[in-house]
Amino acid sequence: MKIVNKLCQIFSIVFSLAALVLFFTPFVSFNTGDGAVSAVGAQLAFGSSVKVAGEAVGIAHSVKLLFCFWVTVIGVLLSVFSFKSKKVRYAAPVFGLIAGIFMLVVALSSPYKFVDFRPFTATGAEYSIFVLLTAIALLAFAVVAIAYLLVDDYLEVLASKGAKKTILKRVVLFFRDYKSEVKKIVWPGIKDVLKNTGIVLIMCLLFGIFVWLLDFGLGKLLEVILGI
């Protein structure tokens, strides 16, 4: 079990690093009035210059891809630091899942929704296979990171000899307690709801009138002082 735990930890780093490396591969190709252009993921995220008809032309950066890039970077750092501190093992799969789902949406959508082609008028834009591979790598990272979290938690429970409960058992107990507490709630009748709603509306109206009168009076006082 310890070997499985280490393998999950190592593979989480491998998949997260693979996703980060894929950002430096060609993500999209499109046509301009001066010819075909190809841009890598990092160029699209940060904005950079691309070669068009032998000249370097700057392109705008995509905020959405920039967000995905930095979430991926954070996921890589968390997966690496999990060797030093087990506290970050909870955060790593979260960032991996966020980046993976977001990148999958990007891969399955039109390039015009997530890529800023300015200053070009892009035609015939299409993603490369690397966009989908990035999403797959991120989702694989999230799955392996979750597996590492569950296996590591199970090993801690075994080491405690039953003093601790696994994450899954704690979640089940939480919902059981939540269900029992919900049953204790006494819901008000329709008459009480209407009565309380009326009281709230009346108080809001009275408070609004008070604020309006106060504002009106202070405004008139200011006009007198300033001689307006």
pLDDT tens profile 63-101: 889 999 999 999 999 888 877 777 777 888 899 999 999
pTM equals 0.72
Checking if the pLDDT of 54 tops 80, the result is: no
d(C-alpha 39, C-alpha 121), whole Å: 15
Q: Give the residue, 42 or 86, on which the prediction is more confident.
A: 42
Q: Residue 52: beta bridge partners?
A: 55
Q: Which class for 144: exposed (0-12), middle (13-18), buried (19 or more C-beta within 10 A)? A: buried
pLDDT of 202? 96
Q: Using pLDDT thresholds of 50, 70 and 90, give the confidence band for residue 47.
A: confident
Give the residue with greater pLDDT, 20 vs 157: 20
